[in-house]
A and B are shown apart, each in its own frame.
Chain A
Amino acid sequence: MTTVSMTVNGKTVSGEVEDRTLLVQFLRENLELTGTHVGCDTSQCGVCVIHMDGKAIKSCTTLAVQASGSTLTTIEGLAPGDELHPVQKAFREHHGLQCGFCTPGMVMAAVDMIDRLGPNLDEATIRHELEGNICRCTGYHNIVKAIKAAADEMAALPQAAE
């Protein structure tokens, strides 16, 4: 067993894990943050996407020990309190979710996409960038619309101090 310690959604947490414990297991079982899901065992589906040190990663193919010392954000910590992140809001407004199972990973991947590529996203770019996230319900149509709308909205926001 190894002791790991990290910052998750602004809180410092630690725990004892087996070396083989996946980060997603640590999040779901030790921290009871069940918004991050597991949908496959080959790092393909993306329902486990979270942010580690500001970058989107798949928490099902990261060991908990690899994340020790890192700063993580999960879907539960994306927006403070009762607020919604513009991407969360856009998914609701554009019906970008049905069963909701892929949604946390989709939202986290979309936030990362907008962070990396800036707000001027066209449909082809969004579709290409979603390669690592599978949705079986929506046919992607409204997810693409939601991400585009969120990107546009974030572009219009006054820039926060860097």
Chain B
Amino acid sequence: MSSEGIGARVLRKEDKRFITGAGRYTDDMALPRMGYAAFVRSPHAHAKVKSIDASAALEMPGVDAVLDGHQLVGDGIGNIICGWMIHSKDGTPMKMGAWRALESEVVRHVGQAVAVVVADTQQQARDAAEAVMVDYEELPAVVDSLDALADGAPQIHPEAEGNLIFDWEIGDEAATNDAFAKAKHITRLEIDNNRLVPNPMEPRSALASYDKAEEHYTLYTTSQNPHVARLVLSAFYNVAPEHKLRVVAPDVGGGFGSKIYIYPEEIVCLWASKRVGRPVKWTSDRTEAFLTDAHGRDHHSTAELALDADDKIIGFRVSTAANLGAYMSLFSSSVPTYLYATLLSGQYNIPAIYANVKAVYTNTTPVDAYRGAGRPEATYLVERIIETAARERGLSPAEFRRKNFVCEFPHQTPVIMCYDAGDYEASLELAMKAIDYDGFPARRAQSEAEGKLRGIGMSCYIEACGIAPSKAVGSLGAGVGLWESAEVRVNPVGTVEVLTGSHSHGQGHETTFAQLIADRFGLPTANVSIVHGDTDKVQFGMGTYGSRSGAVGMSAIVKALDKVEAKAKRIAAHLMEAAEGDIVIEDGEVKVAGTDKKLSFTEVALAAYTGHNLPEGMEPGLKEGAFYDPTNFTFPAGTHICEVEVDPETGQVTVVNFVAADDFGQIINPMIVEGQVHGGLTQGIGQALLENAVYDDEGQLLSASYMDYTMPRADDVPSYIVDTTTTLCPGNPLGMKGCGEAGAIGAPPAVINAVTDAIGDNSMSMPASPAKVWSALQKGGMKQAAE
């Protein structure tokens, strides 16, 4: 067995370049004769563009060109698309408003680009962008989804009457209403899921060049899925045919969903590079990132839970308004529908569920998938209402959950998903033990003695990863398949290159993917290179998001490895005159079992390439490819428990203990998995206590810098206790489920359940800022005084 195989804590192969400053991110690239782009952006949330006057800007030093939407449309560049069709409950297709990479008629959110300047230096481009005179006629704006649905709200797109994009439903409404009619107890909650800004530390960047002689474009860009970018840029935006467009996503500094999409700036840089005849680079500053990176969440919901006399859940009814912003981003329609409402059963046996989701246009930045994408929203709803019901019924949170857990698998929920495997009791028990749940009353008493309030809260989440069977997502409206590809190339000297359609932007694929080869052949990971992120090198792939690179991407590698192994064994059997079935490959050697006959892996590889002595009819070479299409979603699940201390003088909430007990199925590298959980938890705690994207009524984003948007810092969070339980996923060859999003999904309700437990007020919303917590305590105090 290799010491670097499946389950080993192998240190990361990619780290050396990052710790020495040798990483290569898009903005680190420079091309000869490169110019810089700066965008002219709308200062208004909603306005008619009456005219654009570039004459002063064109006179400024270094300026090559000022281009606007008329030229863009004139050159045949297509509108930006949403790739997932949703139908309303009346059967009508979603109402999509036109989105142009440069808008020439009506701007619909602050920061929308209306023109681009290309100049010799970034400073010159930015100076000139300031000098472009745009005459706007302001229109009334609306920023909240419920306001946008109200009568008389400003109309944002002519295509979507009343700003309603779709009115979608899932589940059996009649059966659910029936359950409520029979209920002995009904718990009701109004729940908001606050708008977040993903904020990968590397701002988006694009460097585009055009080769006139070859009529060929190259785009270096900050993308989680360069192949999808190439497909969409080619097929929908008409930039160039696919074979004339190379997209490279080099080192990418985090994504969290926000780098899935193909944004106006990338389209414009490509188009402009041909127009101005030089490579064009654009790098976002942080305020541009706040204004233009797709945001996350932003739901208003009402939820009702029906219980019978034994406190068993018999029905769950949800109504949600989802704010999609000013335009429909690439996967925006799937997030509040199939990635959200299909998880409303949580870990629980709920016989009847009905959800209605209205997706709404507003004059805000487009909203799309952000770490968890729909599943955090579902989990927050489920785990807040479960906790509330337990409190109303006087049951302990664990007891009420246990009573309603799904215990038998497979389990078909009323909302599409079929849970394949899990042990929810096991992770609950592990988490309670790890946080010393029984010792909480003593710790609370200790806090009280010190004038502090202490609370504990749990969240038993489930999510769906490994998206997903192509046929299934196709039937639900997806415009693409969600398989993954891999190619395993054994070189003549026995080293290995693995080409994958997954993309690593922090997940450590160069290490974990290499561990699969170490595990299979006993080769050191140092002998393996992982190739990704370049459409010239890897034929096609769907990229990395939705915790799919393990369950889907690695499954494709396993399939390719199966083929390589089979061929290597046939060659070895032939060379050693043994039966194929007797050949084993381990420790970098190919052996005949039960004998001392063996060849090195290198000797077999070399034989494959010399072709001097191969089995009759066999092609030379040792290189195999595979496509893997998932058989089902995977279902990571677990229990998170948060313990907080509240200072009643200031309302400050401190997370004092946090335990995550997760079931991710098979784990390839526990060190990397723990790191994913730590990061996810911090984003989840950030949502619950700190982060909030706030618009004023005119549509100005008030929280558009790190001075105004509270990113979690090191002293906002504790060190975590992270542990796992394991049930293997039966749906893929390695039994993997996915771990990238669990923290961001499980943490928010655990935190808010703890805060509400501490302060004795269940109405707290996210983020539970000191001001809100302090006000709630004052209100409670006044109520007590009045009683």
- Measured CA separation A134–B287 after assembly (Å): 16
Residues of A48-106 contacting chain B, CB below 8 A: 74-76, 78-79, 84, 88, 91-93, 95, 97-104
Give the distance to chain B from A111, nearest Cβ to Cβ, in Å: 12
Nearest residue, chain A, Cβ from B720: A141
Residues of A37-51 contacting chain B, CB below 8 A: 37-42, 44-45, 47
- Measured CA separation A32–B22 after assembly (Å): 11
Q: Contacts of A135 on B, CB cut-off 8 Å?
A: 201, 714
Indicate if B679 sits at the interface (CB-CB under 8 A).
yes
Q: Contacts of B201 on A, CB cut-off 8 Å?
A: 37, 39, 45, 47, 99, 101-102, 134-137
Indicate if B567 sits at the interface (CB-CB under 8 A).
no
Give the distance to chain B from A137, nearest Cβ to Cβ, in Å: 5
- Measured CA separation A34–B24 after assembly (Å): 8
Whether the Cβ atoms of B678 and A141 lie closer than 8 Å is yes
Whether the Cβ atoms of A101 and B720 lie closer than 8 Å is no
Residues of B1-53 contacting chain A, CB below 8 A: 11-12, 14-25, 27-28, 30
Indicate if A128 sits at the interface (CB-CB under 8 A).
yes
Which one of A18, A44, A93, A137 has the highest number of Cβ atoms from chain B below 10 Å of its Cβ? A137
- Measured CA separation A27–B745 after assembly (Å): 40
Q: Contacts of B27 on A, CB cut-off 8 Å?
A: 34, 37-38
Q: A40-B286, A93-B11 are in contact. Are A75 and B711 (CB under 8 A)?
A: no
Q: A40-B705, A41-B286, A137-B254 are in contact. Are A101 and B19 (CB under 8 A)?
A: no
Indicate if B683 sits at the interface (CB-CB under 8 A).
yes
Contact mask for chain B residues 492-532; partner A; CB cutoff 8 A; 1 contact, 0 none: 00000000000001111000000000000000000000000
Whether the Cβ atoms of B713 and A99 lie closer than 8 Å is no
Indicate if A16 sits at the interface (CB-CB under 8 A).
no
Indicate if A162 sits at the interface (CB-CB under 8 A).
no
Indicate if A14 sits at the interface (CB-CB under 8 A).
no
Give the distance to chain B from A34, nearest Cβ to Cβ, in Å: 4
- Measured CA separation A45–B199 after assembly (Å): 11
Whether the Cβ atoms of B711 and A97 lie closer than 8 Å is no
Whether the Cβ atoms of A100 and B14 lie closer than 8 Å is yes
- Measured CA separation A136–B287 after assembly (Å): 17
Q: Contacts of A102 on B, CB cut-off 8 Å?
A: 201, 253
Contact mask for chain B residues 314-332; partner A; CB cutoff 8 A; 1 contact, 0 none: 0000000000000000000
Q: What is the interface of chain A mostly: helix, strand, loop, or mixed?
A: loop
Q: Contacts of B304 on A, CB cut-off 8 Å?
A: none
- Measured CA separation A73–B24 after assembly (Å): 20
Q: A36-B21, A97-B19 are in contact. Are A126 and B675 (CB under 8 A)?
A: no
Whether the Cβ atoms of A95 and B672 lie closer than 8 Å is yes
Give the distance to chain B from A113, nearest Cβ to Cβ, in Å: 11
Give the distance to chain B from A21, nearest Cβ to Cβ, in Å: 8
Nearest residue, chain A, Cβ from B713: A131
Whether the Cβ atoms of A139 and B706 lie closer than 8 Å is no
Contact mask for chain A residues 122-148; partner B; CB cutoff 8 A; 1 contact, 0 none: 011011101101111111111111000
- Measured CA separation A23–B200 after assembly (Å): 23
Residues of B728-778 contacting chain A, CB below 8 A: 743
Q: Contacts of B705 on A, CB cut-off 8 Å?
A: 40-42, 44
Q: Contacts of B717 on A, CB cut-off 8 Å?
A: 139-141
Q: Contacts of B675 on A, CB cut-off 8 Å?
A: 95, 98, 137-138, 141-142
Q: Contacts of B283 on A, CB cut-off 8 Å?
A: 38
Give the distance to chain A from B690, nearest Cβ to Cβ, in Å: 12
Q: A131-B714, A134-B706, A136-B199 are in contact. Are A99 and B19 (CB under 8 A)?
A: no
- Measured CA separation A39–B205 after assembly (Å): 12
Give the distance to chain B from A26, nearest Cβ to Cβ, in Å: 13
Q: A98-B508, A101-B201, A131-B713 are in contact. Are A44 and B19 (CB under 8 A)?
A: no
Indicate if B56 sits at the interface (CB-CB under 8 A).
no
Indicate if B123 sits at the interface (CB-CB under 8 A).
yes
Q: Contacts of B14 on A, CB cut-off 8 Å?
A: 100
The answer, among A44, A74, A126, A131, for a CB contact under 8 Å with B21, is: A74
The answer, among A18, A76, A99, A141, for a CB contact under 8 Å with B253, is: A99
Give the distance to chain A from B121, nearest Cβ to Cβ, in Å: 9
Nearest residue, chain B, Cβ from A129: B714
Whether the Cβ atoms of A41 and B19 lie closer than 8 Å is no
Q: Contacts of A107 on B, CB cut-off 8 Å?
A: 19
Whether the Cβ atoms of A139 and B678 lie closer than 8 Å is yes
- Measured CA separation A123–B705 after assembly (Å): 28
Taking A33-B21, A42-B706 as known contacts, 10 extra A-B pairs with beta carbons closer than 8 A to each other, sorted by chain A number, are: A18-B123, A28-B28, A35-B21, A40-B285, A41-B285, A92-B15, A102-B253, A127-B714, A139-B682, A141-B717
**What residues make up the interface of A, taking CB atoms closer than 8 Å to B?**
18, 20, 28, 32-42, 44-45, 47, 74-76, 78-79, 84, 88, 91-93, 95, 97-104, 107, 123-124, 126-128, 130-131, 133-145
17 contacts between A and B (CB under 8 A): A18-B123, A37-B25, A39-B202, A44-B705, A88-B19, A98-B507, A99-B202, A102-B201, A102-B253, A131-B714, A134-B201, A135-B201, A136-B679, A137-B675, A139-B743, A140-B682, A141-B720
Q: Which 3 residue pairs across A and B have the least CB separation, nearest first? A: A35-B21, A100-B18, A101-B253
